[in-house]
Amino acid sequence: MLFKPVISVARSNRVPWLLGRRLAAAPVTGFHTKQVVVLDACATTACRSSQLGPCIMGARSVSTSGVNFQDLSYEDLKALMQGGDIQLIDVREPAEVAASGKIGNAINIPLGQVKDALLMSEEAFQKAYHAQKPQSYDHNIVFYGLGPIKSHAALKLAHKAGYTHAREYSAGWEDYKAKKGT
């Protein structure tokens, strides 16, 4: 029998998880709300297609208190850029960008315009920023500024506007320029 580990966030003692294309929920007791749980689930075809649904073979708690999945490291940013699958948004003022430069193909949306820009229609966004508007479900949206202050503020605004998968490169332009030069 094959086992496939699945990671999910428990909410209200029910763990939503996906095996193949089938979404199932199984009651899990003994875990706190919003605690990450690793499930050892049966991944055999017979188990997935049974009327009872996929089998949970065991569950164990995993601590993620020191992990921030929204903040990218220089290496993460570099990998996304090399893959070409990134929507990089520089939230500094245009004068700052003109004076010091920007990362790759980043588009410049000053922090004061981020909320309005994300709520614009696709046509208005295209006209204003000469780029395709990110979709709220995109996982490749990354904000950065000179350092962590503006990028974090932009990330909060994006999350409030429904872009819940957006991330930030909090080290910012200064860190990128220093590491790129080495």
- Do 143 and 174 lie in one domain? The reply is yes
pLDDT given for residue 141 in this prediction: 96
- Do 88 and 26 lie in one domain? The reply is no
86 in any annotated domain:
yes
- Do 47 and 89 lie in one domain? The reply is no
The larger pLDDT score, comparing residue 20 to residue 112, is at 112
Taking the whole predicted model, whether its pTM rises above 0.85 is answered as no
Q: d(Cα 89, Cα 160) in Å, to the nearest integer?
A: 17
* pLDDT exceeds 80 at position 50: no
pLDDT given for residue 118 in this prediction: 96
Residues 6 or more apart whose CB falls under 8 angstroms from that of 30 comprise: none
pLDDT given for residue 133 in this prediction: 96
- Do 31 and 106 lie in one domain? The reply is no
* Overall number of domains in the chain: 2
* pLDDT exceeds 60 at position 150: yes
39 in any annotated domain:
yes
Last residue of a domain, one of 61, 83, 98: 61
Q: d(Cα 173, Cα 181) in Å, to the nearest integer?
A: 12
Q: d(Cα 4, Cα 39) in Å, to the nearest integer?
A: 8
What one-letter code names the amino acid at 160? Answer: K
- Do 41 and 122 lie in one domain? The reply is no
Count of C-beta atoms within a 10 Å radius of residue 125:
20
Tokens 């949206």, residue?
141
Extended strands (E) in 31-180: 36-42, 56-61, 87-90, 107-108, 141-144, 167-168
- Do 148 and 100 lie in one domain? The reply is yes
177 in any annotated domain:
yes
Q: Which two tokens stand for residue 79?
A: 């990998």
pLDDT given for residue 85 in this prediction: 83
| pLDDT one-digit tens code per residue, 53-86 | 455 555 555 544 444 568 999 999 999 999 988 9
Residues 6 or more apart whose CB falls under 8 angstroms from that of 38 comprise: 5, 6, 7, 59, 60, 61, 62
Last residue of a domain, one of 61, 91, 107: 61
129 in any annotated domain:
yes
| pLDDT one-digit tens code per residue, 31-48 | 444 444 444 455 454 554
Helix or strand holding residue 126 (H, E):
helix 122-129
68 in any annotated domain:
no
pLDDT given for residue 33 in this prediction: 40
pLDDT given for residue 175 in this prediction: 95
- Do 94 and 142 lie in one domain? The reply is yes
Distances from the Cα of 58 to the Cα of 4, 5, 29, 95, angstroms: 11, 10, 12, 56
- Do 162 and 88 lie in one domain? The reply is yes
Average pLDDT, the chain: 76
| pLDDT one-digit tens code per residue, 83-107 | 988 999 999 999 999 999 999 999 9
69 in any annotated domain:
no
pLDDT given for residue 181 in this prediction: 79
66 in any annotated domain:
no
Determine what percent of the chain is predicted with pLDDT higher than 90.
58
Q: d(Cα 155, Cα 114) in Å, to the nearest integer?
A: 9
156 in any annotated domain:
yes
Domain that holds residue 55: 3-61
pLDDT given for residue 57 in this prediction: 56
